[in-house]
Structure 1
Amino acid sequence: MLMIKAVIRPEKSGEILAELSEAGFPAVTKIDVVGRGKQRGVKVGNVVYDEIPKEMLIMVVDDEHKDDVISIISRKGKTGQAGAFGDGKIFVSPVLEAYTISSGTKGL
């Protein structure tokens, strides 16, 4: 199992979630977050905005579905043909175990 965390532009969230659900990946946790990437925020005049609103999508998938999920998030999260700074990041981490709280069953 793998945990996929994607930090994305808020305006791309609906499109990404719809595509994930349609592809058979409806289980997603969405969190409003703020932060900045390598570009160190946005400078407008003399003001630097270093807490840019983003959304984080978190999901756990079987290893064989990793590429499908990453492809959907990358394709739907990109702005324009080539993308742009601030489109986001995707992080993949191993998950050793998962349990359903209500039943205590192990696995997804």
Structure 2
Amino acid sequence: MREVKAFIREKRANEVMQALRTEGFESLTVSEAEGTGRYTQRKDSPSLRFPLAHSKMSKLEIVCRKEDVPKIVQVIHQNGGKGEKGEGLIYVSEVLEIYKVRTGELSKEDI
């Protein structure tokens, strides 16, 4: 199993999520994120919660099969950006184990 984590601009999040759903990737986590990087734009402003953060982003997290990673990355890339600097990043990590909260047991069906 793999985890795909993408940091994308807030204004693109709904479009990316809809495209992922269309491709059959319906289970994902979305949260608000703020960060810093080399990219700055005049409309970016310091965060009230984090004085060093200047970019409001959405963070998408999807746990998937290894073979689904290229398609998910493609969908995020095609729908999350317009070819401009500072549009975000995509990370892929290995998921070693998945446990069920209800039972505490290792999930065999997802690995």
TM-score in terms of structure 2 length: 0.82
The number of residues matched between the two structures is 102
Q: What is the aligned partner in structure 1 of residue 3 from structure 2?
A: 3
Question: Which structure shows the bigger proportion of residues in strand conformation?
Answer: 1
- Write the deviation string for residues 36-72 of structure 1: whole angstroms up to 9, x where unpaired: 2222x3346xx97442100100111100000000000
**4+ residue stretches of structure 1 with deviation over 4 A?**
47-50
Q: What is the aligned partner in structure 2 of residue 26 from structure 1?
A: 26
TM-score in terms of structure 1 length: 0.84
Q: Which runs of 5+ in 1 are unaligned?
A: none
- CA RMSD, 1 decimal: 1.9
- Percentage of identical aligned residues: 26
Q: What is the aligned partner in structure 2 of residue 85 from structure 1?
A: 85
Amino acid in structure 2 at the alignment position of 1:42: Q
Change (3 A) 1:9 1:2: same
Query: Once structures 1 and 2 are overlaid, which stretch shifts more, 66-75 or 97-106?
Result: 97-106
User: 2:9–2:87: 8 Å Cα contact kept in structure 1?
Assistant: yes
